[in-house]
Amino acid sequence: MEHPKSVGIWLRVSTEDQAKGDSPEHHEKRARMYAEAKGWHVVVIYHLEAVSGKSVIEHSEAKKMLKDIKDGTISGLIFSKLARLARNTKELLEFADFFRLHDADLISIQESIDTSTPAGRLFYTMIAAMAQWEREEIASRIAASVPIRAKLGKQIGGLAPFGYKWENKYLVVNEKEAPVRKLVYELFLKHKRKKTTANSLNTMGYRTRNGIRFSDTTIGVLLRNPSAKGTHRANYTTHKGKNGASILKPESDWVFTTCPAIVSEELWNECNRILDEQQKKHHKPGPRAVHLLSGYVACACGKKMYVYHTNMVYRCKTCGNRIPVGDIDEIYHEQLKSFLMTETDVNQYLQKSDETIKEKENLLKSITEQTTTLRKKMDELVNMRIAGDMTRELFLEHHKPLEEQWVTLQDQIPTLEGEIAYLKVQFLSSDTVLQEAKNLYHRWPSLPPDEKRTIVEVITESITIAKEDIHIKLAYLPNAFRNEGNRQTLY
């Protein structure tokens, strides 16, 4: 024998309706009569008397009803009319979706809707169409608002770029991450290798926002992101790829707004120029130069000159032009004398120097705060171990990585403190600045090879060897100040 259908009765009557004599008892009686006529068994009544219909889905009785549907306690719900179930269209659609998912019926007496009948199932189809339309409308409205919010510089979802944070829905500098973000550009400019940059950061104890080691891929993403130079890019991806992966939108949809800069535009452009050149060549940069001027010496015919084998001579394979390594190194040194003794904008130099000191101080502050946080975490683990709340193996597993990172960061503190003290003394006056520039010529012979090479890469544009003369073109752009006008060609 087939068991009768178990149903519930939904009673929600406003205070105003009750004042007019439209009582809950009246609605319950009518619902029971309908169930009896259908041969159904009423097993539960959900009481929401005097509850506003603006939002009912979070009400305890509504949650109980949904649970009963899910558990199979009831397979249908009777109510006097749709407005009594929910006046909120969104919630009404959610109820309909839930009932359809669990093969349960909605019965509205006044609208003559009974989804256990063919006509009622047509109502379900219409409800489903309404729900789809509602979802598409919401998605359309959100999509339309995204570019507008992006143009206003407001948050449109997603995490802030490394070095920044969202504050009151606007992008601001993250004081802890910004020094590390700047260090990424400085290290890459020095090494010209993403992997070397990542290894350097990891060795110094820095980690990503998620606490993992930096990789060459992460470095590439950070270098390419224009936020560091003060240009925030938004509305440039959409989640339509496989497995929800983001894919790029057409560039015409991208929105750019200003944000606080972490590095100079010149530094950002130079790092990205290097990336572009490496991408064009489709290969990783070669090993570090063995000779001081390798890669800069070229023949007047336009071909690069290299030192082949153990013969200490730069030679052009095309026309045979040559010059001894020692001779061109000495000539380059002499050219530094007149070049480095030119006048510079001292005020601008000192201003940039002060910024450099401040950045180093911010980096020191960030490291100090990180070490304090790490020490606190380690102390907490020790206390848990002492209290017997953690096994020895689990303690070592969690404590050792923290200790290693703490030791590495601690080692950076005295180095940074020394650098800051050095900078403050070095840039104490304009006389010191000019004197140091002039002294570089005299100190050149005693400088380590790596330091010489770094200076060459910063100030040298080209060295051309002709039969009768040599052309050395220098573009002096010190890190402390970058003036496009400070260019000089020496012959």
Q: Is the pLDDT of residue 64 over 90?
A: yes
Question: What pLDDT is attached to residue 52?
Answer: 67
Statement: residue 288 has pLDDT above 70: no
Res 488: pLDDT: 38
- Checking if the pLDDT of 486 tops 50, the result is no
CB contact at 8 A, 202 and 184:
no
Q: What is the CA radius of gyration of the chain?
A: 36
Out of 81-90, 150-159, 186-195, pick the least confident: 150-159
> Mean pLDDT across the chain, nearest whole number?
77
The yes-or-no verdict on residue 442 having pLDDT over 80 is no
Give me the mean pLDDT over the 31-42 stretch.
86
Q: Which residues belong to CATH 3.90.1750.20 in the chain?
A: 164-281
pLDDT of residue 490: 38
pLDDT at 161: 86
Q: Which of 157-166, 275-284, 457-466 has the lowest mean pLDDT?
A: 275-284
Q: What is the pLDDT of residues 224-244, one digit of tens each?
A: 888 888 887 765 556 554 455
Mean pLDDT of 123-136: 56
Residue that the structure tokens 């919401």 belong to: 138
Query: Could you report the per-residue pLDDT of 378-419, keeping only the tens digit for each?
Result: 999 999 989 888 898 998 898 999 999 998 888 888 777 766
Q: What is the C-alpha separation between 471 and 297, in angstroms, rounded?
A: 10
Cα 382 to Cα 467: distance, rounded to the nearest angstrom: 73
Rounded distance, CA 144 to CA 154, Å? Answer: 14
The CA distance from 259 to 173, in Å, is 9
Gap between the Cα atoms of 381 and 390, Å rounded: 8
More confident residue, 435 or 293: 293
pLDDT tens per residue across span 310-365: 788 998 988 889 899 889 888 888 877 765 544 554 556 666 777 778 888 888 88
| Pick from 246-255, 304-313, 407-416: least confident | 246-255
Select, from the ranges 66-70, 92-96, 250-254, the one with the highest average predicted confidence (pLDDT): 66-70
More confident residue, 18 or 373: 373
pLDDT band for position 458 (cuts 50, 70, 90) = low
In this model, does residue 279 exceed pLDDT 50?
yes
Higher-pLDDT residue of 349 and 210 is 210
Topology, domain 164-281:
Hect, E3 ligase catalytic domain fold (3.90.1750)
CB-neighbour burial class of residue 368 (10 A; exposed 0-12, middle 13-18, buried 19+): middle
| pLDDT band at residue 110 using 50, 70 and 90 as cut-offs | confident
pLDDT band at 105 (very low <50, low <70, confident <90, very high): confident
Q: 126 pLDDT exceeds 90?
A: no
Percent of the chain scoring above 90 in pLDDT: 14
Cα–Cα separations (whole angstroms), residue 72 to 75, 96, 99: 6, 16, 11
SS (H, E, C) the chain: CCCCCEEEEEECCCHHHHHCCCCHHHHHHHHHHHHHHHCCEEEEEEECCCCCCCCCCCCHHHHHHHHHHHHCCCCEEEECCHHHHCCCHHHHHHHHHHHHHCCCEEEECCCCEECCCHHHHHHHHHHHHHHHHHHHHHHHHHHHHHHHHHHCCECCCCCCCCCEEEECCEEEECCCCHHHHHHHHHHHHHHCCHHHHHHHHHHCCCCCCCCCCCCHHHHHHHHHCHHHHCEEEECCEEECCHHHCEEECCHHHCEEEECCCCCCHHHHHHHHHHHHHHHHHCCCCCCCCCCCCCCCEEECCCCECEECCCCCEEECCCCCCEEEHHHHHHHHHHHHHHHHCCCCCHHHHHHHHHHHHHHHHHHHHHHHHHHHHHHHHHHHHHHHHHCCCCCHHHHHHHHHHHHHHHHHHHHHHHHHHHHHHHHHHHCCCHHHHHHHHHHHHHHHHHCCHHHHHHHHHHHEEEEEECCCCEEEEEECCCCCCCCCCCEEEEC
With a cut of 50, say whether residue 432 has pLDDT above it. Answer: no
- pLDDT value of position 17: 57
**What pLDDT score was predicted for residue 79?**
87
pLDDT of residue 424: 61
CB neighbourhood size of 77 (10 A): 25
**Where in the chain are all domains bearing CATH 3.40.50.1390?**
6-143
How confident is the model over 134-149, as pLDDT tens digits? Answer: 555 555 555 555 455 5
User: How far is CA 161 from each of CA 230, 232, 244, 323, 474, rounded to the nearest angstrom?
Assistant: 12, 9, 20, 49, 36
Tell which CATH architecture fits domain 6-143: 3-Layer(aba) Sandwich (3.40)
At 115, list the tokens: 């989804």
Q: Do the Cβ atoms of 228 and 262 come closer than 8 Å?
A: yes
